[in-house]
Amino acid sequence: MNKIFKIFSIGAAMVCAVGFMTSCEQTDAEKDKDSTPKIEFCRVCDPQAADSLIVEAALGSRIAFIGRDMGDVQQVWFNDQKAKLNPTMVTSNSIIVDVPNTLPQSITDEVRFVTSKGHETVYPFSVRIPAPIVLSVSCQYASPGDVMTMKGDYFLATGDIPLTVTFPGGITVEPDQYTKEMLMVTVPQGATEEGYIKLTSENGTSTVPFKFLETDGMICNFEPGGYENPWGLGGYSDEDGVSGRYLNFKKAQAGAWAWDNAMNWAYWNAASGKPIANGDLSKLAVRFETNIVSWANLPMLMWFFKEDEKVDVDGPEAQAHWMPWLSLGGDTPFTTNGWTTVTIPLTDFKYDKEGKVDNRVIGNISEYYNFGMMIFGAFTPGTMAFDLDVRIDNIRIVEID
């Protein structure tokens, strides 16, 4: 046993890392076709964990079964879920396989190995279901009484352990409804504290990676007494706001290439000497809440710049062009039906004004102090003017994975 294990640690562990086998698989399959597979142990596919033998693994994990007479195995079943086998990963002495991502309907805590001749071996092994995973939230500034939607995976509850949502301040509620990949929860009364939401299922507790009521990296929240619009650009309102006063781009029959103060805004802060952000460009994003009442055909241009007292959309700076209405095609007004959170990676800032150049880069973000937004450009792909009403709040620069 020790000899077999040491050989695997050096040889098969490297196979796990590079996913390559020699040209003897066919010989192994022929040699073992009349044999019943014999499984001795299972281990992780990580050369750094050569001594890690396991009796369970999470969905989607890559693992290696070690034994004898395994070359003719054609099927591997985890509970009632069939794994995808790569023939180059099957030899007489090892099988490298990914645990299926699909949830089992019948749990046996066994793995079955089946050969072309129908010989079968059953090995005791458990599949571990992860704690809930959240990939997005509808609005990080949802107020008490609002319904927040989360998308992700493994939103599960069975038996006596319910699925719960805990808001900052320790307020725990159950979701209104959920499926395996979507959850809707009403924000409870008293949930007004900034922090991270936690989800708990029978499979563990996880932290929602999007901070509730996030103020990190805040540029402007448009509240009275805070930063004001330069030159009176854009407009303000607090009607049906997500958190008080907000920026409101509003124009009847907004036209192409219309340089209109109602449709642009800038943040000037160079005089302070404080960079607008610091860090790795690939790990930063502009984030804000928006309520789009009506918007079509015109892009919103965004860019960072270094000098105050100007709004120069024709400059050399890299721009992002935000056009959520494109999902509907042209000449169809887009609406969000309420407030939602938007995240735009700084790596998306790469265009010129017309979008013909797409290889610009921001460079060192710490050299910039100011930020501009402007709804401006050609009708693309539509041809008609529509009423514009876009509301924005809590502009911030945040770290992303």
What's the order of all strands across the beta sheet hosting 164-167? Answer: 171-173, 164-167, 198-201, 204-207
User: Where residue 1 falls among pLDDT bands split at 50, 70, 90?
Assistant: very low
Give the model's confidence band at 4: pLDDT under 50 very low, under 70 low, under 90 confident, else very high.
very low
Instruction: Order the strands of the 300-305 sheet from edge to edge.
Output: 264-267, 370-375, 300-305, 319-322
Residue 221: per-residue pLDDT: 95
pLDDT tens for 279-313 read 999 999 999 999 999 999 999 999 999 987 777 89
| Summary mean pLDDT of the chain | 91
pLDDT exceeds cutoff 70 at 50 = no
pLDDT at 169: 97
Per-residue pLDDT tens digits for 147-174: 999 999 999 987 688 999 999 999 999 9
Predicted confidence at residue 41, as pLDDT, reads: 96
Show the CA angle centred on residue 36, arms to residues 44 and 63, nearest 5°: 10
Beta bridge partners of 124: 110
170 vs 256: CA distance, rounded Å: 50
Q: Please, what's the largest Cα pairwise distance for the chain? A: 84
| pLDDT recorded at residue 312 | 87
DSSP H or E run through 26: helix 25-32
Average pLDDT over residues 195-212: 96
Whole-number Å distance between alpha carbons of 27 and 18: 21
Instruction: Say yes or no to pLDDT of 23 above 60.
Output: no
Instruction: List the structure tokens of 61.
Output: 């994990």
Residue 5 pLDDT: 37
Radius of gyration of the chain (CA): 28
Contact predicate 90/115, CB 8 Å: no
Express each pLDDT in 9-19 by its tens digit.
Answer: 444 444 444 44
Give the pLDDT of residue 7: 37
CA-based nearest residue to 264, from 300, 237, 211? 300
Where residue 26 falls among pLDDT bands split at 50, 70, 90? low
Q: Quick count: other Cβ atoms within 10 Å of Cβ 292?
A: 22
* Rounded alpha-carbon distances, angstroms, from residue 270 to 129, 250, 276, 306, 371: 50, 28, 9, 7, 10
Would you say 302 and 372 are in contact if contact means Cβ atoms under 8 Å apart? yes
Q: For residue 273, with 0-12 CB atoms within 10 Å meaning exposed, 13-18 middle and 19 or more buried, which class applies?
A: exposed
Residue 232's pLDDT band (cuts 50, 70, 90): low
The answer to whether the Cα torsion of 173, 176, 178, 182 is positive or negative is negative
* Cα distance between residue 334 and residue 327, in whole Å: 9
- Which CA distances in Å does 349 have to 76, 322, 341? 46, 10, 19
Query: Distance between CA 35 and CA 72 in Å, rounded?
Result: 8
Cα atoms found within 13 Å of the Cα of residue 389, Cβ hemisphere only = 13
Give the pLDDT confidence score for residue 334 in this predicted structure.
Answer: 97
User: pLDDT tens digit string along 320-359?
Assistant: 999 999 999 889 999 999 999 999 999 999 999 999 999 9
pLDDT tens readout for residues 65-112: 999 999 999 999 999 999 999 999 999 999 999 999 999 989 999 999
Tokens 């039906």, residue? Answer: 337
